[in-house]
């Protein structure tokens, strides 16, 4: 190799190394080989909770089940369900005209590091508790600023009430959503997370990202207008640490949908074993 050739390669390699070093990295990316997977999804069945005004629930009808003439087993079902019930996604279009529908939400909005706010003690004392801006700032005083691109999750303890409709919603009268009681996000806290901290999605373990008695759904409208998906009726959030986990929230890709059933999991890094 000629000296001129070497002289050309070395500066190029140096530039490449500098660019690689300067490129943004995503610390804490999940490593499945050393992580625990937590299913944050309630199973869909005849007990699945839907919004009280929903005309129907989850229905599973067998189409086939048994031995075929060829000698092998075969099973297939059909299912029918409203978009908004069980563990599910609220697409921005749910409360924002022209907002992204379920099939239009970028995958990047559904995968990210988790920031989990635990208000179980406060919610136990007040079933209508709403996460406050002060709660978020107190969390940040311990864990540092909420990382841009996080998925903000609110743990209220309500998952333990599933699928008891009365305890979960505060009322079990079909067709009547006027007397619901469960905790959720407050508008100021949601605004801080969505506009200032720029989270990708917000979710929680109750039936709505607005608290039970809400009549004007300010958090839904705020999230929808900002293009931020909502994740509702999430399970097992008490098993997810405040920081360090990654969340994958992948809904059914319904063309034109305002939401849909969601399979959501958390990837939690395990601490290295003591030597």
What is the average per-residue pLDDT within 172-187?
Answer: 97
- pLDDT value at 21 more than 50: no
CATH number for the region 33-44+82-269 comes to 3.50.30.50
Cα angle for residues 206, 224, 111 (degrees, 5° grid): 70
Kindly list the catalytic residues.
94
* Domain boundaries, given as residue ranges, for the chain: 33-44+82-269
**Bridge partner residues of 38 (DSSP):** 266
pTM confidence score:
0.87
Question: Model confidence at 268, in pLDDT bands (50, 70, 90)?
Answer: very high
Question: Model confidence at 7, in pLDDT bands (50, 70, 90)?
Answer: very low
Question: Model confidence at 23, in pLDDT bands (50, 70, 90)?
Answer: very low
| 45-to-65, 73, 86 alpha-carbon distances in Å | 18, 23, 9
Whose tokens are 């209220």? That residue is 156
Sequence-distant (6+) residues with CB within 8 A of 32 are 267
Taking only the tens place, the pLDDT of each residue in 118-171 is 999 999 999 999 999 999 999 999 999 999 999 999 999 999 999 999 999 999
Whose tokens are 């929680």? That residue is 204
Q: Percentage of the chain surpassing pLDDT 90?
A: 85
Residue 151 has what pLDDT? 98
């Amino acid at each position: 190799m000629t000296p001129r050739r070497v002289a050309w390669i070395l500066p190029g390699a140096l530039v490449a190394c500098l660019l690689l070093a300067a490129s943004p990295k995503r610390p804490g990316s999940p490593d499945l080989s050393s992580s625990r997977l937590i299913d944050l999804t309630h199973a869909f069945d005849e007990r699945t909770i839907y919004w009280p005004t929903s005309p129907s629930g989850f229905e599973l009808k067998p189409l086939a089940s048994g031995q075929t003439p060829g000698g092998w087993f075969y099973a297939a079902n059909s299912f029918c369900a409203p978009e908004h019930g069980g563990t599910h996604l609220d697409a921005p279009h749910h409360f924002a005209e022209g907002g992204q529908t379920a099939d239009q939400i970028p995958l990047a909005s559904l995968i990210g590091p988790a920031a989990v706010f635990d208000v179980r003690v406060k919610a136990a004392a007040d079933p209508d508790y709403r996460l406050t801006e002060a709660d978020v700032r107190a969390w940040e005083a311990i864990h540092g600023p909420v990382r841009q691109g996080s998925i903000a999750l609110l743990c209220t303890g309500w998952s333990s009430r599933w699928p008891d409709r009365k305890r979960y919603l505060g009322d079990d009268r079909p067709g009547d959503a006027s007397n619901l009681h469960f905790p959720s996000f407050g508008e100021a806290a949601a605004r801080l997370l969505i506009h200032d901290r720029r989270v990708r999605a917000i979710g929680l373990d109750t039936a709505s990202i607005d608290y039970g008695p809400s009549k004007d759904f300010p958090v839904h409208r705020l999230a929808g207008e900002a293009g931020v998906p909502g994740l509702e009726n999430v399970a097992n959030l008490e098993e997810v640490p405040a920081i360090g986990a990654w969340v994958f929230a992948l809904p059914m890709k319904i063309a034109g949908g305002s939401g849909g059933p969601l399979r959501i999991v958390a990837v939690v890094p395990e601490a290295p074993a003591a030597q």
